[in-house]
Structure 1
């Protein structure tokens, strides 16, 4: 009986741990008819257009539609994101669009959170859009989300 109870406790503990595991998914919609959506982190390509799920935080990732961009999105509109479950107020996910050189406007780009913070996001439809970083001081364009396991949808040419 002790062995059976021990197995039940171990299974319940494993289930509880897996139920609390942090995950984040990034999806792409490319309506441009050209280019390849890319998601990268630390110089590693994580996705070439398919949905990518991170088992744990996704920190310092970049996404862009490769229409002749450089290896890190140079010359293109770029989305920067960190998706992480908040541990204290203000420590959760943050996403933005950047046009800071060497990045520049290439295609209409937008993002939005889902599975939490639904409706929070930004769109950049021109080189002068007010929703993107144009200089380091434009911190007001960052879109935060304080929800566990939030996901991100990125759209090009909407």
Structure 2
């Protein structure tokens, strides 16, 4: 009987440890424009959210977000674009990274900002106008990515700041 109790205890500890170590990232939207549809699109072109909170159970790589005002292409063409990778760092410099982009075919459409929630708060960026310095305008721009080197980074994206 004792070996069964040991096995059951070990199993419970392993399950609890696995849950404690599980990687998750949640993206939420704050649409102050009161019009348009927040879009979150995966790297593979899958619509992940149209405004509701989205939780990734594992890394989220190469996702994009924008406010669909009726003038945006499916990949945010013609609109202010947010690009994000949310991943727990395995070594220094390999954690989450988020940025705003106005590199053509993207263009300023609505004021857009983001901020990490939790350990990396208040890190983030806002772009309030077509000439904001917190967004990429051409590929050669100085880096404007905002990193988060903490596990389970969550993000809030705000439109019409």
**TM score, norm. by length of structure 2:** 0.96
Please name the residue that 2:59 is paired with. 57
SS, match of residue 143 in structure 2: helix
CA shift, 1:140, in A, is 2.1
- Determine the C-alpha separation between the residues in 1 that align with 2:138 and 2:45: 23
Is the CA contact (8 Å cut-off) linking 1:40 and 1:63 kept in structure 2? yes
- The structural deviation recorded for 1:115 is 1.4
* Aligned residues between the structures: 158
Q: Which runs of 4+ in 1 moved over 6 A?
A: none
| TM, length-normalised to structure 1 | 0.98
Structure 1 residue runs of 5 or longer lacking an equivalent are none
Question: For the Cα contact (< 8 Å) 1:116–1:151, is it kept in 2?
Answer: no
CA deviations over 1:66-87 (Å, ceiling 9, x no partner): 0121010000001000000001
Q: Output one character per residue of 1:32-90: Cα deviation in whole Å (capped at 9) or x when no partner.
A: 02100010101000000000000000000000000121010000001000000001110
Find 2:124's aligned residue among 121, 125, 129.
121
Coordinate RMSD, CA, aligned: 0.7
Unaligned residue ranges in structure 2 (runs of 5+): none
